[in-house]
Amino acid sequence: MENGTFSSDLLAAFRALARQAHRRFGVTIHLLHIVGKRHAYVEGDTQGLPALPPHILPLSARWAVAVYGWETLSQEERADLARLAETLPVERA
């Protein structure tokens, strides 16, 4: 990951979202920076990940959120989490 190039606002917002996602939905989320085919890890708890495919929620051409535990969520919970992820302050271009 590029040193010091991720805004502190984004990281703070993501950490808050990650806490909420864990508390409210029981899932672990990771913030991913997309560079070409590479989805590079930026932030998120790496402990206790379930051995299941993460669900990738795209936010823009450059950003996504990986959700570990997506399959445990109801349709409504998935929609709620996706809406919350959309509030992250990432560049949308």
Q: Which residues bind another protein (CB under 8 A)?
A: 1-3, 30, 32-33, 35-41, 44, 46-47, 49-54, 56, 64, 66, 71
Query: 21 by DSSP, 3-state: which?
Result: helix
Cα 6 from Cα 50, distance rounded (Å): 27
Residue placing its CB nearer to another protein in the complex, 2 or 76: 2
Number of H helices, E strands in the chain: 2, 4
Nearest approach, Cβ of 87 to another protein (angstroms)?
A: 20
Q: Are 84 and 57 in contact (CB under 8 A)?
A: no
Nearest approach, Cβ of 72 to another protein (angstroms)?
A: 10
Residue placing its CB nearer to another protein in the complex, 51 or 76: 51
